Amino acid sequence: MTPDEFRHYGHEAVDWIAGYLENPGRYPVFPKVEPGELIDALPKCAPEKGEPVEKLLEDFRSLVVPGMTHWNHPGFMAYFAITGSGPGILGEMLSAALNVNGMLWRTSPAATELEQVALGWLRQWIGLPDNFFGIIYDTASISSMHAIAAARELAEPEARVRGGTGNLTLYTSEQAHSSIEKGAIAIGIGQRNVRKIPVDEAFRMRVDLLEEAIEKDLAAGLRPFCVAATVGTTSTTSVDPLDPIADLTERHNLWLHVDAAYGGGAAILPEFQHILAGARRADSVVTNPHKWLFTPADLSAFFTRRPDILRRAFSLIPEYLRTPDQPRAVNFMDYGVQLGRRFRALKLWFVMRYFGREGVSELIRKHIGWAQELASWIDADARFERSAPAPFSVVCFRLKGSDDDNRRLLDRVNASGEVFLSHTALHGRFVLRLAIGNIATTHAHVERAWELVRQAV
């Protein structure tokens, strides 16, 4: 593609994006498609000869876009309602063009250093001290897997050479994200060595039961090595009590990992910074700017007080990647599984600068405020009940009735195409989840969502 062609179609793509972002609500948030529809509509084989760009963009608009679930839709209130933002998209465009692999300082000094700078800024915003080293991974799943692997390295340094022994035990709450258990499975800890500690009435890890579980495992000759606490669990956004947990992990010399993939966003607000106060005592913390910091996916920010341990777990330098030692040159490939590292820091740096801390805080504060308002509406409607506290921007609630009543309610609401909610299970019951976090969502959209829910009863 010649530069002129790129200029021409690049402008066309930008215009499409601008038009799309002007009103992502024009599409149903969840598309009216059946599985296999797009597959059936496309050729079974790639073309032998190249096709004109017009055709690509036309198929994108007419076949792909109508089959998307629109995460940009202001009525997208499912899972965690993540969104990008204009400056984030600009960052991704430029990164895609530069297309560097930041595995070594040498393979792109500016990409490496901008990652250090942007993560230093973010670290300050969420109130972590400067002895935390920052690195960008793709997802919180991978960040947490690295945390668990680093914890293993600390507890059982011989595992790197000898392989797993199958007697290390990991503790997390029964409300923790599935990625903690999956990470433990992946690195060979074993599912039966993952203790899912029960939670209190606010879905927070029960520290007394955590202590009991650790003591019991120690007595049984097992080797507790890691506690993964959560700030903003996936179902209810509950916050585990970090300080009492840190008391335990310090006493037993366990790695404390804090999964703040979602909740870390809120910690940017002065009035919410206390939620990560205990994380200063953690060994590692993950927060995802691609969740609640208006940064396009993927970008997971991982911080650790023990970069030496992380590096000992993962460093492996073949001759073809050996570069001269330079004290200030960080080679991020030494700190993880992935050798390939695209230039993700740019979009985060753009987002943080474009909005500033005030701009970001204002948006997040609104999201939290609207969720609190919605919670009060639910509390005031006798047909509904709230299923959990709503400390941030997610509200869990249900119709007083059977699980099937609630399933049908959710289906009817989502069939509107105006809003997309998700669900979870709490105390074994089916619960609706309404998550606010989309940059396009306004107070009116939250009102409309509640109206749709009430109408669907």
By CB under 8 A, the residues from 362 to 421 that bind a second copy are none
Please give the structure tokens belonging to residue 340: 């390939």
259: helix, strand or coil: strand
Give CA 450 to chain center in angstroms.
26
The answer to whether 280 touches 129, Cβ cutoff 8 Å, is: yes
- Residue from 251, 356, 400, 455 in contact with a second copy (CB under 8 A): 356
- Residue from 128, 346, 368, 419 in contact with a second copy (CB under 8 A): 346
The residue (of 200 and 298) whose beta carbon lies closer to a second copy is: 298
Dihedral sign, Cα of residue 438, residue 442, residue 445, residue 450: positive
Instruction: Please give the Cα distance from 186 to 180 (Å, whole number).
Output: 10
37 makes contact with a second copy (CB under 8 A): yes
- Residue from 219, 220, 221, 318 in contact with a second copy (CB under 8 A): 318
> Minimum distance from CB of 247 to a second copy (Å)?
27
Instruction: Please give the Cα distance from 352 to 181 (Å, whole number).
Output: 32
The answer to whether 289 touches 140, Cβ cutoff 8 Å, is: no
Instruction: Please give the Cα distance from 126 to 280 (Å, whole number).
Output: 10
* Residues 323 to 342 in contact with a second copy, rule: CB under 8 A: 326-329, 337-340, 342
* Residues 139 to 198 in contact with a second copy, rule: CB under 8 A: 139-142, 145, 149, 152, 159-168, 177-179, 181-183, 185-193
* Region near a second copy per CB under 8 A, out of 57-65, 195-203, 238-246, 365-373: 57-65
* Region near a second copy per CB under 8 A, out of 50-58, 251-259, 383-391, 448-456: 50-58
Q: Give the residue from 191, 211, 209 showing the smallest Cα distance to 199.
A: 209
Contacts 24+ apart (CB under 8 A), 94-102: 94/346, 95/342, 95/343, 95/344, 95/346, 95/347, 98/343, 99/342, 99/343, 100/342, 100/343, 101/339, 101/340, 101/341, 101/342, 102/332, 102/341, 102/342, 102/343
355 makes contact with a second copy (CB under 8 A): yes
* Region near a second copy per CB under 8 A, out of 122-130, 242-250, 373-381, 382-390: 122-130
169: helix, strand or coil: strand
Give CA 256 to chain center in angstroms.
19
* Region near a second copy per CB under 8 A, out of 51-59, 196-204, 269-277, 370-378: 51-59
129 makes contact with a second copy (CB under 8 A): no
> Minimum distance from CB of 380 to a second copy (Å)?
26
> Minimum distance from CB of 422 to a second copy (Å)?
6
| Upper half-sphere CA count for residue 124 (Cβ side, 13 Å) | 8
114 makes contact with a second copy (CB under 8 A): yes
Burial classification of residue 158, based on how many CB atoms lie within 10 Å of its CB (0-12 exposed, 13-18 middle, 19 or more buried): exposed
220 makes contact with a second copy (CB under 8 A): no
222 makes contact with a second copy (CB under 8 A): no
The residue (of 201 and 325) whose beta carbon lies closer to a second copy is: 325
The residue (of 18 and 250) whose beta carbon lies closer to a second copy is: 18
The residue (of 66 and 417) whose beta carbon lies closer to a second copy is: 66
224 makes contact with a second copy (CB under 8 A): no
Please give the structure tokens belonging to residue 192: 């039966």
Site string for a second copy, 67-106 (x = CB under 8 A): xxxxxx-----xx--xxxxxxxxx-xxx-xxxxxx---xx
**φ and ψ at residue 226, rounded to 5 degrees:** -155, 140
> Minimum distance from CB of 244 to a second copy (Å)?
25
307 makes contact with a second copy (CB under 8 A): no
